[in-house]
Amino acid sequence: MTHPPDVAAFTARCRARMALIRHRFDGIGTDRRGLTTLEYGIIATFLSVLMVAAFTHIGSALTTIFTEISTSL
């Protein structure tokens, strides 16, 4: 013969698990430690893109200058 589960004990275990889950996820909206790292990463990416664009432009300009110098010699 099987006995029905103890509903009160089951409910208490479920509430304890839910409290543990809530406790683990409490700081998700308020923890800002990773935000500064993310901001610095975005700034570094933006600067890298600007540097590549600038060096590409400078490289083209230098190629033109050296080509003109070599043809004049």
What's the pLDDT tens digit per position in 37-65?
888 889 999 999 999 999 888 888 888 88
Q: Which residue has the tokens 């004990």?
A: 9
Show the CA angle centred on residue 64, arms to residues 59 and 70, nearest 5°.
120
**Alpha-carbon torsion angle 25, 28, 29, 31, nearest 10:** 130
Show the CA angle centred on residue 58, arms to residues 53 and 63, nearest 5°.
130
- Cα separation, 59 vs 65, in Å, equals 10
Domain borders along the chain are 7-72
Q: What pTM, to 2 d.p., does this model score?
A: 0.45
Long-range contacts of 45-53, Cβ-Cβ distance < 8 Å, separation of 24 or more: none
